[in-house]
A and B are shown apart, each in its own frame.
Chain A
Amino acid sequence: MSLKEPSRPSLYLVMDERGRAIERLYRERYVGFRNAVATVSGGYDGARDAVQEGFARAYRARAQFRGDGSLEGWVWRIVLRAALEQRRGQAELPLDEVEVDLVEPESDPVLAEALRELPPRRRLVVFLRYFADLPYATIAEVCEIDEGTVAATLAQARAALAQRLIEEGVQP
């Protein structure tokens, strides 16, 4: 009588584990996803649709996640792609070329002005950092840029805002 070899985890179990991870990410980070994506969609309704659709696609394709980056970064790219599909003719645009803006710039005109001094394609970095609270590494992974570029962009945004505040007579 020979001992049976321990069987490898089935694809089903792997998928189930990933499914739970995606669900956990959704439940814990939904608001951050939606608020950051709103800068791509141009509004919160569109952002909600993109997040729902993006997570649905990620959940559906979870077996295809190869694990060569973080699961969160992978889901972010899918969600942002779903948001870009809402913008006619931009579905195939590289994520680091996407022009985004605050949904309600009139709510903080000083910040809006400061952000406008950044190259449009770098604003997504700022929104991912401050609306979604993503670490530099994940932002770099999502936008497919260096971590150094992420840090430089955020420093530039901070400097621009500080300058604006000084011009407005506010101590930064």
Chain B
Amino acid sequence: MTEHAYAGRTAIAGIGATEFSKFSGRSELQLAVEACLAACDDAGIEPSEVRGLSTFTMETNPENDVMRSLGIEELTHFSRIHFGGGAPCGTVQYAAMAVNEGVADYVLCYRAFNERSGRRFGAGVQDRAAGATAEEAQFSWTSPYGLLTPASWIAMFATRIMHEHGVTSEDFGRVAVADRRHAATNPAAFFYGKPITLDDHQESRWVVEPLHLLDCCQESDGGQAILVTTLERARDLRQPPAVVTAAAQGMGADQQMMRSFFRDSLTGLPEMAVCARQLWETSGLGPDDIRTAVVYDHFTPFVLPQLEEFGFCGRGEAKDFIRDGNFELDGRLPVNTHGGQLGEAYIHGMNGIAEAVRQVRGAAVNQVDGAEHVLVTGGTGVPTSALVVSRDR
């Protein structure tokens, strides 16, 4: 059995976020700093005790600026994870490795942006000319044909998933309905008090066929920070620790950035399979041990293959798993109990880690009984990451 040294010996000790909105009225840097302060306050430590920062390559707030505003004198660890929304659980894994190695006592993972009132993520690359670097030139294979946005890239997979597995638009809609149902009772969610019906989903306008508007996550302004330390230290802090039981990054064969159109099958997520294998192998856990999960939901279609890759159901059976009501709060696997990125906010998956911590603490607004181990997944269609956090002892 593969072992990860940090697994079971490190923990999330604090979570902190700004409000989630469509117009923060503040700089992205201020959002990052506010979220980091909130996470330290949640744990009951001084920000000046933090010695590491871990974030996304897409983050616009560099570690030196965040450090300076937090009043941190020096950093001994700073790390960035590439590939957009695939990074969130990866930042926690880096932080866990750093604290377990003694490189830093406390590491803050953070992500903050005005991606609704500032540069909108849904706009994709429509205003960006392709460059000649290996990374940018990959857009040459898609942009000249009109695939310019994340929704358009995912739609190409969705059509094939529908074709091969008999999935319908209503099945995608059931994911959105579950997310919005959970958001409706979460005061922190942007769509608090605003559930939707399957008819609402079906009647919402096309964004990119086969994706309706309500298949697409929000664009949000906000920040989220996660404080990681050793389990031993976490036990002395204000909140019950959420143990980092397993963490993984994954990149699969013939991987492209949201446009892995050229691999053998478009209906699976090989990079998520790499994560699932590591999580289950290093922790000894399996899907039967998971009572609730935060499943990355930038667009509804990719929720389905994630259920299959993690073994909650067989290949092609996710539609049946969802139709059977397993996403209900009293069902087999309540998913995205905070409302997900469709319902709460789209903070590149970092807010999902915070929800997993709340479930483990027993402090979630839609608390699931027996949430001992909670699975969190990172972005889909990209090189990604995943995490299991657990109750302490």
Report whether chain A binds chain B: no
